[in-house]
Amino acid sequence: MSDGRENEAGLNKGKRIGEYFQISPFFAGGLHGLELENQENLVSFPIVMLGPPVGQKYGFGDFSEKPVLRPNKKSYKNPPKDFEQFHSYWLVSRRVKSVLEKFDPESVSFVECDVFHISGKPLDPEHYLCDVVRKVDALDEVNSKVVRVVDGDGDRYSLTGDQEVNFNIQKLGGAHIFRQNKMTGIYCDAFLRREFLAAGVTNTAYFKDVSIRK
């Protein structure tokens, strides 16, 4: 595990092995402009956005009704793509949902929602709220190059800068998408990335290679 110091010799770095990826809709950008139309029925004080209930870090509570997502014409740029951020959750396409349910159903949770196009018609294909609920403690500290930080939030790992991450396959326990203990972000392996691409999720900007270099 790295102590955070830069390589003073300035040696050329090797190529990442493409084994693990941080996955996020933020990497691809875009503004879908969606708003939660029935927010007052689904979100109550002290919570200010749609997210896990109080005392729960991930997943969904029992919604009293189906979330309704409708674009605000002033902030709308494009209809939602395969991966989008919506409040505390992902908003994913039908094909993303199909891949996750097929290859790692225990790691994810979904909620149906009604999503509308700027025209007022229901969005086709359907999109779903999604959260990654599996958390592991599988970081390979020997081969990873991350910075351990101790601050007011406790002991954690930082991926700021140009870090390299590897995971212990045995400790992953078959997970293909997961959260790592003491580390922010969501990660997937090369297998799941290939399945996404094969299913037509071709925007590689969703996947940031954080693998170790050889």
Encode pLDDT of 134-144 as tens digits: 999 999 999 99
- Do the beta carbons of residue 97 and residue 135 sit within 8 Å? no
Packing angle, helices 190-198 and 94-103, rounded to 10? 140
Q: Please tell me the distance from the alpha carbon of residue 23 to that of residue 87, in angstroms, as a whole number.
A: 17
**pLDDT (average), residues 56-70:** 95
Query: Tokens 């700021």 belong to which residue?
Result: 160
Encode pLDDT of 1-45 as tens digits: 544 434 433 445 789 989 999 999 876 666 799 999 999 999 988
- Residue ranges with strand state E in 113-210: 114-115, 127-132, 135-136, 147-151, 154-158, 177-180, 187-189, 207-209
Of 1, 66, 65, 80, which is closest to residue 33 (Cα–Cα)? Answer: 80
Confidence label for 68 from pLDDT (cuts 50, 70 and 90): very high
Higher pLDDT, 31 or 55: 55
**pLDDT (average), residues 93-114:** 98
Query: Tokens 């729960």 belong to which residue?
Result: 56
DSSP letter for each residue of 196-214:
HHHTT---GGGEEE-BPB-
Confidence label for 183 from pLDDT (cuts 50, 70 and 90): very high
pTM over 0.85: yes
Beta strands across the sheet bearing 83-86: 83-86, 89-93, 127-132, 108-112
Q: Please tell me the distance from the alpha carbon of residue 51 to that of residue 137, in angstroms, as a whole number.
A: 23
Is the CA virtual torsion 200, 205, 208, 214 positive or negative?
Answer: positive
pLDDT value, residue 151: 76
**pLDDT (average), residues 134-162:** 87
63 Cβ neighbours under 8 A, 6+ residues apart? 42, 111
Q: Which two tokens stand for residue 38?
A: 């029935």
**pLDDT (average), residues 87-104:** 97
**pLDDT (average), residues 148-168:** 84
For 62-87, b where at least 16 C-beta lie within 10 A, e where not — what string? Answer: ebeeebbbbbeeeebeebbbbbbebb
**pLDDT (average), residues 115-120:** 94
Confidence label for 182 from pLDDT (cuts 50, 70 and 90): very high
Does the pLDDT at position 196 exceed 90?
yes
pLDDT value, residue 4: 43
Q: Please tell me the distance from the alpha carbon of residue 204 to that of residue 16, in angstroms, as a whole number.
A: 15
Q: Please tell me the distance from the alpha carbon of residue 70 to that of residue 72, in angstroms, as a whole number.
A: 7
